Copies of this chain bind each other. A is one copy, B any other.
Amino acid sequence: MAKYKVIAFDADDTLWVNEPYFREAEDQFAKLLSIYETENKIQQELYKVITGNIPLYGYGVKSCILSMIQCATELSNNKLPATITKQILEIGKNMLTKPIELLPGIVEVLETLSKDYTLIVLTKGDLLDQEKKLERSGLLNYFHHVEVMSEKNPEGYQRVLNHLDIAPKDFLMIGNSLKSDILPVLEIGAKAIHVPFHSIWQFETVAQEVMDIHDYPTLSSIKKIVNFL
């Protein structure tokens, strides 16, 4: 018998590859600005600008590109040539049109689980971009509901559960980010399974002490979900 009524999947780096594209974009950015600073310093400054702008811009490609442009004008002491600004805009447009690379085994897992469970997607980031990625992924039909959350915190998850009218005990979240997919879900009394991805954004990392006090299973691959359940 099904243990849960609803299984929710994170999208970026759980269903498909995402983080490496951001790392790649940041490397391109650092190279473009290497006339002003070391690439290491550029990456550090960019991180500060991006995370500083999250309350205002939120997550996603458009926010990242706006922060890149701000960071570039600052690093150049307002001398940034427009040709570089243009190339930063291009980095963003390339990210927004990248083909979707599904993680191994995703289709088989969704095919199997969709027979016994209601599957949904809970992702954060930019609304339009995430919807379009889901469409391009070919996975849309497996999901009963898709929700793009502005922030994955306990309140956000509780709102989704209220809205779908399900109790925490009937809800399971699967994702790669402890900070966004696991800890806030455990906090509202639901269950979560951690499936790490080889690359994680610095902003999403969690201290070892925090990880140690929480109880959640970690699987090395999404393919192991079916047997685990």
Contacts and interface: CB of A to CB of B under 8 A. Distances in A.
Interface of A: 56-58, 62-63, 65-66, 69-70, 72-73, 76, 78-83, 85-86, 89, 92-93, 96-97, 126-129, 131, 145, 148, 150, 163
B127 A58 contact: yes
Question: Chain copies in the assembly?
Answer: 2
Contact of A150 (B65, B89, B127): B127
B73 A66 contact: no
A117 to B, nearest CB: 18
Contacts of A78: 81-83, 86
Max chain B Cβ within 10 angstroms of own Cβ: one of A73, A93, A127, A131 = A127
Given A96-B56, A128-B57, A73 B82 contact: yes
Interchain residue pairs A-B with the least CB separation, the first 6: A58-B128, A80-B82, A128-B150, A127-B127, A62-B62, A78-B82
19 contacts: A56-B96, A57-B96, A62-B62, A62-B63, A65-B66, A66-B66, A69-B69, A69-B85, A70-B86, A72-B82, A73-B85, A73-B86, A78-B81, A78-B86, A79-B82, A81-B82, A82-B82, A128-B150, A131-B150
